[in-house]
Amino acid sequence: MHGGHMMHMGNLKRKFWVSLILTIPVIIMSPMMGVNLPFQITSHPWTDLLVAILGTIIFVYGGAPFFSGAKGELASKKPAMMTLIAMGISVAFIYSIYAVVANQVLHLPGHVMDFFWELVTLIDIMLLGHWIEMDTVMNAGSALDRLAKLLPSDAHLISDDTITEVPIKQLQLDDTVEIRAGEKVPADGTIIDGTSHVNESMLTGEARPVKKAPNDTVIGGAINGDGTLRVKVTGTGDSGYLAQVMKLVQTAQNSKSAKENTADRVAGLLFYAALTVAIVAFISWLLIDNLAIALSIAVTVLVIACPHALGLAIPLVVARSTAIAASHGLLIAHRDVLETVPDLRYVLMDKTGTLTEGNFTVHETHSVSDLDDQRVLQLMASLESGSSHPLAVGILEQAQQAQLDLLSVTDSQQQTGVGLTGTIDGQAYQIVSPGYVEKAQLAHPHFSLERLLQTGDTVSFLVQNDQILGYVAQGDTIKPSAVTLITQLKQQRLIPVMMTGDNAQSAQKVAQQLGIDHVHAGLLPEDKEQLVRHYQQDHAKVMMVGDGVNDAPSLARADIGVAIGSGTEVAISSADIILVRSDPHSIIEFLTLARQTNRKMTQNLWWGAGYNIITIPLAAGILAPWGFMLNPMVGAVVMSLSTIIVAINAMTLKDEEHTA
C-alpha cells in the first residue's frame, strides 16, 4: 500500500525538484551502467568523489519516503513496490560507495563499475510517480476551483441593525448576511427572512431554480433570484459544501485502485524473483569464475530489477483518467470502482430525478373525508413547506397557485421511506406513499388504490390516525437523455433495472417509454438495498444510480454507487461517483472512460513488468553458455524506453466526446 505511506512523507514535490537538480551533475559525471555517454565528463578522482557526495544526499533525502514505505510493507509481511525500490537503491548505493573506495582509495586492479546513475534516476522517477499519484485528483480539483470561484468576494454582514460589506473570509458561524436579488450566496446557511428562487444548478445539478423560504437551507455559490434573503451562516471554510466536496477529492487521493494493488503484487513478485535470481547467480558465478564477477552480476540483477516503468504505470493513467472525468462533470470518489466496470452486469436506477426530470405537476387533489379538497391541499402543503423534494415542490406550487396560506407546523420530521409527519393545530398528520398505504393496509371504501394508480401518476396520501383523509396525484416528465442511456446500456450488454418508491403503474409507464424490462416499484430504502444484494448473487457486479438521498443504503451497498444531480452530504458519503451535472448520459461517459482506463492500466503493467521479466534472467547470465551476456548499456536503454513507452501510453488515453 505504498500510496498510503507516501501521503505522510511531507512535500514530495519539493523532494522531487531538489533531487532532480542534484541529479543533473550526477548524470553528467557518472557512467550509465558502466558506459560513458558522449556528453559525459571523463572520469576523474574529483568527479567520482563529487558524484558519491551528491548520490549520498539524494539517497538519504530523496529515498527517505521509500524506506518508510518498505518498513510498513515488511512489518505487514507483504513486500511490494516500496520494498523493491528500497532494495534496489540500497544495493546500488552500497555497491557504488564500495566502487568509489575500491577505485580511488584502495586502487584495486581493474575498474569496479558504480551504479550512481541508476540510483539517482530511480529515486527521481519514483518520486515523480508518487507526486503524480498524490496529484491525480488535482484536475478534478480544478473543476472544483471553478465552483469555488462562484463564491462572491464580499458579503453584506448584518450586525446591530447595520449592514457592512466584508470579505467572505471574515464570515463566522451564526453571522447573519443579506443576499440581494441576483447576488451569489456567500456561504452555506439557513434562511431566517425572505423568499426567493435560488439557482443551485452549478452545485447540485438541479436544472431549475428552487423556491426558498424561511428555514430552508442555501448553499454557498448558488445564485439568488428575485427576492432579498436574510441568512444565518451555518457553514464556512472547512464546514461549507464546497469544502465537503474537497474532502471527497482528498478521499479519492487516498483510495487505491485494484490495479494499483496489482502493481504492488507484481512488484512483490519481482522482489522475490530478483532476490532469488541474484542469490542463484552469485553462487553459480562464484563457482564458475571469481568473487568480483559473481558480486558484480548479483548486484546488476538487483539494480536492473528496479521498477522504473512500473512505478509510473498506474499513476500516469489515473492522472489522465481523472482529468478527463472532471471535464465531463464526474468526480471519482473511489478509484477502485474503475476496475469493476469490465465485470458489470446490472445497472439499477432510481426513477425520480434520475430518469425523470423531477418536475412534478399536480393533476388531481381529492378528499375522501369530511375535509374539502382545498383543505387537503393546504394541510399537505403546510407539512411539505420545509422540504425540497420534487414532490413537495409540486404540492407547494399548486397551493401557491390556489392562494392558500400555509399553516404553522410543529414536530415536523422526515420518516425515511415513509414520508413526513407533523402537527398542525394540535393534530398529528402524515404524508405517505402508496407503498406505505399498502404495507400498513390503510384501506378506504371511497376509492380503489389500484384504479387510482393505473393513471401512472405519483400519488401522495394525507393520513391521520391511520385514516386516509385525501390525496394528491402528480405527473413527471422523462429526461431527454434517459432514452439514449437505456439504449446504450443494452448495446453494452448491461441490464437496466428501475427501482423506485413510486407506485407500480407509474413506474411501468416510464419503463415502457424507456424500454426497461426489469421494474421494482413501491420500495422503501431498505427494499432497494435488499434488491442490490439480490442482483449481486452469483458474484454479479451491480451499479446503483440514485439521487444520493433516499438511495443512500443501496448506493453504499452497490459495487459502484453513482449519485446523480446531488449536492448532499449523504451523496458525498455514500456514492463512489458523483455526477456534477444532472445528466444520465454522464453514466455512459463514465463506463466508456473506465473501460479505456482499465485497458491502459493493463498495457502499462505489462510494459512495466515486461522489462524486468526479460532483463533479470539475461543480467544473471542465463545465456552465458551460448556466449551472450546482457550488455549493461542495452539494459539501461531498454529500461529508459520502457519508462517512456509507459508515459506515452498513459497520455494517449483519449477524451472522447459522447453525444446523446
User: How is 621-646 classified by DSSP, letter by letter?
Assistant: TTTGGGT----HHHHHHHHHHHHHHH
CA dihedral 535, 539, 544, 548 (to 10 degrees): 110
In a shared domain, residues 4 and 121:
yes
CATH of the domain at 235: 2.70.150.10
Residue 105 domain-assigned (yes or no): yes
In a shared domain, residues 365 and 461:
yes
CB atoms within 10 A of CB 526: 12
Amino acid at 326: A
In a shared domain, residues 28 and 169:
no
Residue 611 domain-assigned (yes or no): no
> What's the mean pLDDT in 250-275?
67
Residue 605 domain-assigned (yes or no): no
User: Is 350 in the active site?
Assistant: yes
CB atoms within 10 A of CB 416: 12
Would you call 117 helix, strand, or coil by DSSP? helix
In a shared domain, residues 122 and 203:
no
CATH of the domain at 341: 3.40.50.1000
Is residue 355 a contact partner of residue 515, using CB atoms and an 8 Å limit?
Answer: no
Extract the C-alpha cell encoding 579. 455526477
Residue 142 has pLDDT above 70, yes or no: no
| pLDDT for res 373 | 94
Domain stops at, among 529, 554, 589: 589
The overall average pLDDT reported for the chain is 80
In a shared domain, residues 227 and 339:
no
Residue 24 has pLDDT above 50, yes or no: yes
Residue 140 domain-assigned (yes or no): no
DSSP for 326-349, written as a single string: HHTTEEES-GGGGGTGGGEEEEEE
pTM to 2 decimal places: 0.61
Residue 505 has pLDDT above 70, yes or no: yes
Query: Bigger pLDDT: 347 or 235?
Result: 347
pLDDT digits (tens, 9 = 90+) for 484-495: 899 999 999 999
In a shared domain, residues 415 and 558:
no
What whole-number distance in Å separates Cα of residue 90 and Cα of residue 63?
9
| Degrees, nearest 5: CA angle 138-142-144 | 110
What whole-number distance in Å separates Cα of residue 167 and Cα of residue 150?
14
360 Cβ neighbours under 8 A, 6+ residues apart: 390, 391, 393, 394, 458, 474, 475, 476
CA dihedral 274, 279, 280, 286 (to 10 degrees): 140
pLDDT digits (tens, 9 = 90+) for 228-244: 999 999 887 666 665 66
Domain stops at, among 207, 225, 248: 248
pLDDT digits (tens, 9 = 90+) for 181-222: 888 888 889 999 999 888 775 555 454 577 888 988 888 878
Give 2's pLDDT tier (boundaries 50, 70, 90): very low
pLDDT digits (tens, 9 = 90+) for 597-608: 889 988 888 887
Query: Bigger pLDDT: 251 or 335?
Result: 335
Long-range (24+ apart) CB contacts under 8 A made by 450-453 are 453/503, 453/504, 453/505, 453/506
Residue 8 has pLDDT above 50, yes or no: no
In a shared domain, residues 101 and 5:
yes
Is residue 349 a contact partner of residue 545, using CB atoms and an 8 Å limit?
Answer: yes
Which range, of 229-238, 324-333, 381-390, 650-659, averages the lowest pLDDT? 650-659
Residue 584 has pLDDT above 80, yes or no: no
Is residue 492 a contact partner of residue 595, using CB atoms and an 8 Å limit?
Answer: no
Give 636's pLDDT tier (boundaries 50, 70, 90): low
Extract the C-alpha cell encoding 130. 508518487
Is residue 406 a contact partner of residue 398, using CB atoms and an 8 Å limit?
Answer: no
370 Cβ neighbours under 8 A, 6+ residues apart: none
Half-sphere exposure of 514 (CA within 13 A, CB side): 33
149 Cβ neighbours under 8 A, 6+ residues apart: none
pLDDT digits (tens, 9 = 90+) for 306-317: 766 777 777 778
> What's the mean pLDDT in 244-268?
59
In a shared domain, residues 456 and 367:
yes
- Domain count along the chain: 4
Give 150's pLDDT tier (boundaries 50, 70, 90): low
In a shared domain, residues 387 and 340:
no
Domain stops at, among 475, 497, 521: 475
In a shared domain, residues 62 and 169:
no
CA-based Rg of the chain, rounded to a whole angstrom?
A: 32
Q: In 515-619, where does DSSP find H-type helix? A: 525-535, 552-557, 569-574, 585-619
| pLDDT for res 660 | 35
Query: Bigger pLDDT: 38 or 67?
Result: 67
**Which helix (H) or strand (E) is 294 found in, with range?**
helix 291-304
Extract the C-alpha cell encoding 545. 444510480
| pLDDT for res 427 | 93
> What's the mean pLDDT in 16-36?
81
pLDDT digits (tens, 9 = 90+) for 352-402: 777 887 778 898 999 999 999 999 999 999 998 877 677 888 899 999 999
Whose grid coordinates read 471527497? 248
What whole-number distance in Å separates Cα of residue 79 and Cα of residue 307?
14
The gap from C-alpha 96 to its chain's centroid, in whole angstroms, comes to 43
Return phi, psi of residue 420, to 5°. -115, 150
| pLDDT for res 396 | 92
Residue 9 has pLDDT above 50, yes or no: no
What whole-number distance in Å separates Cα of residue 552 and Cα of residue 556?
6
Residue 182 domain-assigned (yes or no): yes
| pLDDT for res 203 | 55
Extract the C-alpha cell encoding 441. 393496509
| pLDDT for res 426 | 92
Give 301's pLDDT tier (boundaries 50, 70, 90): confident
Residue 266 domain-assigned (yes or no): no
In a shared domain, residues 464 and 518:
no
Give 634's pLDDT tier (boundaries 50, 70, 90): low
What whole-number distance in Å separates Cα of residue 506 and Cα of residue 484?
20
Residue 83 has pLDDT above 80, yes or no: yes
| pLDDT for res 32 | 65
Residue 322 has pLDDT above 70, yes or no: yes
Residue 659 domain-assigned (yes or no): no
Buried b (16+ CB within 10 A) or exposed e, 183-201: bbbbbbbebeebebebbbb
Residue 144 has pLDDT above 50, yes or no: no
pLDDT digits (tens, 9 = 90+) for 44-53: 667 888 989 9
Catalytic residue (choose from 216, 350, 527, 559) = 350
Give 5's pLDDT tier (boundaries 50, 70, 90): very low
Which range, of 163-172, 350-359, 465-474, averages the lowest pLDDT? 350-359
Domain span at residue 111?
1-134
| pLDDT for res 201 | 58
CB atoms within 10 A of CB 446: 9
Residue 4 has pLDDT above 80, yes or no: no
In a shared domain, residues 388 and 468:
yes
Residue 417 domain-assigned (yes or no): yes
Residue 482 has pLDDT above 50, yes or no: yes
pLDDT digits (tens, 9 = 90+) for 508-545: 888 988 999 999 988 877 788 889 989 998 889 999 98
Give 644's pLDDT tier (boundaries 50, 70, 90): confident
CATH of the domain at 430: 3.40.1110.10
Is residue 475 a contact partner of residue 503, using CB atoms and an 8 Å limit?
Answer: no
Extract the C-alpha cell encoding 417. 421511506
